[in-house]
Structure 1
Amino acid sequence: MTINIDTYYDFRSPYAYFADYRVRNAGFGLATTVEWVGRPVFIDVILNLQSGREPWAPYVDTLIPPKRAYLMADIRRMARFYGVPYKPPWKWPNRPNQIPALCIASLLSGRTEQIFRSTIFDGLWHEQRDISDPAILREAVARAGGDPAVVEQADDPGVREALTKRTVEAYTNGVFGTPTFVWNGEIFFGADRLDVLAWSVNSGAAEG
């Protein structure tokens, strides 16, 4: 039997990258086959909604300096803890624009979306690639077995609007950050909750 686990992510989240890497490499001892169904979302939209702003209002960074310093140290520490390759090509908070890649991901499905997702995560957080470059995006789509023409389709404002609406819907349904996993109506937030998620899945399989 195959079960679906909804996987909410934004490429700009290093923790979503860690989770994607763990899903690909950890195994977790799952007692059943899992389809990790990609659900790309705009994290800025979610953060705006949390603060009572309109979805596409200009993002305001509310992190205080001590929390920012902690976050940077924690990302490096967690990369070492999980054994995840980590070498971003920029200094925080400057980073390549992830929106085109998210729009492309929203147009893909199944194995194609999964491979594209992992390729972009690796490119952004390890391989020091500019994931806003159309040539790199076309290469990633082709590697995933998709049609590179989808890169041009992602420029359609309607694609961005549709993804915004899905992000608002996800927030309404309890998704407040990335990565978030939803299985059997339960929400599991963070790369560090994947083991708990696997335990829950296996417990459910044993009870069934």
Structure 2
Amino acid sequence: MTFQKRCGGATGCVSTNGKPRDLNRFRKISRYIMQEDRLQKHVSVKEALKTAADLKLGNRLSEEDKGRVVEEIIICLRLDRCSNTLTQRLSGGERKRLSIALELVDNPPVIFLDEPTTGLDDLSSAQCILLLQQLARGGRTVICSVHTPSARLFAAFDHVFVVSEGQCVFTGPPHQVVPFLKSTLSLDCPTHYNPADFGELPP
């Protein structure tokens, strides 16, 4: 299933690597994973991935090769213990990993995720971000929106884009956010306070 979000009244030029984006090509190389997991509840993890492989890979690979792709993704995303479990019986973290797995079948180089930690406890959230970090280390570009992450999750990102009232206020490594706020805006974040929560401190 494909879902698209559209907005009206916006103008401008979207660039990738400094060049105007070729929308058709960009759609082919990127995947968008929604905040809410939309899974078929009466199929198992392995069945869902096999169906995705048939739809996304078609005749490009043999059935044997597609089976290998599915097994590799199951192991990579630590879904082997629940590979035969119906999706309706998965935990929140397992559902999120399956949603990601379904989009990895044809190995996209760019992955967008909307609030991937929503509804997950601290442990599952940390595991999810660690997984995304591993995918990025493997050569993919992983972009996700996260609302006020914990200090631990905030520090795990390579690059953050901080937004306030729809405008970018900072872009760069997470460890530079606090020094930037102090030197540029004279905002001194307390030593043991989560930088991602600092913007919500009362004046």
Structures share fold, TM-score greater than 0.5: no
Question: TM-score, normalised on structure 2?
Answer: 0.25
| Greater relative CO (CA pairs within 8 A, separation 6+) | 1
Q: State the TM-score, normalizing by the size of structure 1.
A: 0.24
Higher helix proportion (structure 1 or 2): 1
Please identify the structure whose Cα radius of gyration is greater: 2
